[in-house]
Amino acid sequence: MMPRLFSKFLFFFMFLAGMCTTTVAAHKYPKPPSLAFLYQVNITAGGFYNIGPGPKGRRAVIPIANGTFAGPQLKGTVLPVGGDWALADANYLVNGTLFPDVRQTFLTDDGEYIQVFETGASQSDGTVFVRLTYEASSLKYYWLNAVVAIGIIYQVPPNSITIDTWQMVPPSGPTK
């Protein structure tokens, strides 16, 4: 049973490997991927709920009141059904590390819903980087499901944030 399962797995892996169009060149430093602007989102917070300390640090929940987003391929509003389940590191007073855990629901100008999930970490200089993933069922926005995106969160006093978001794209030109 095990050899047959292994051979099926090996066949599947080889099939997937054959689908990859990127080749790995033998060089010391590969050319990095590029970034393409995806959108900017502006969000107004709806409050602040200090959940308190837990085994991983101090948790706070900040609901989304409203917002808007716009980019070259999508535009719309942020619905008031998400928020940030932020976690301040257990050593926050020493290292200042905060871990955002954001869930948003976008409604595009043409009536389609897009779920957005963000996780990340603040840096020693206060910059907050996030990784973004998407769930889109609309054929028009289905491409977002495969996007690898990163963002930077900026505080906008008194109770708003802006997130600039970029999509990773393969490097162009020679890889050496």
Task: Write down the H helix ranges in 2-99.
Answer: 2-19, 92-95
Residue 23 phi, psi (nearest 5): -105, 150
Please, is 102 exposed, middle or buried when counting C-beta atoms within 10 Å of its C-beta (0-12, 13-18, 19+)?
buried
**Nearest one of 108, 127, 124 to 116, comparing CA atoms:** 108
Q: What is the pLDDT of residue 148?
A: 96
Chain centroid offset of residue 10 CA:
32
- The answer to whether residue 18 sits within a structural domain is no
93 belongs to a structural domain: yes
Could you list the residue range(s) of the whole structural domain that residue 109 is in?
Answer: 42-168
Fill in the DSSP letter of residue 31. Answer: P
Specify the pTM. Answer: 0.81
The pLDDT score that the predictor gives to residue 124 is 87
Q: Cα(17)–Cα(15) distance, rounded to whole angstroms?
A: 5
Among 108, 105, 102, 170, CA closest to 139? 108
Name the DSSP class of 17. Answer: H
Nearest Cα residue to 121 out of 153, 157, 144: 153
- Residue 47: inside a domain: yes
Within a domain: 132? yes
pLDDT value for 91: 80
**pLDDT value, residue 75:** 98
- pLDDT tens for the chain, 176 residues long, are 445 544 554 444 454 455 555 555 556 888 899 999 999 999 999 999 999 999 889 999 999 999 999 999 999 999 999 999 999 988 877 788 899 999 999 999 999 999 999 999 999 888 999 999 999 999 999 999 999 999 999 999 999 999 999 999 999 865 55
26, part of any domain: no
Q: Is residue 20 one of the residues assigned to a domain? A: no
- What are the CA-CA distances from residue 134 to residues 20, 22, 143 (Å)? 22, 24, 9
Query: The domain that contains 81 carries what CATH number?
Result: 2.40.160.20
Query: Per the structure, how many domains does the chain have?
Result: 1
What does the pLDDT read at residue 64?
Answer: 97
Is the Cβ–Cβ distance between 168 and 150 less than 8 Å? yes
Would residue 81 count as lying in a domain?
yes
Residue at 31 is within a domain: no
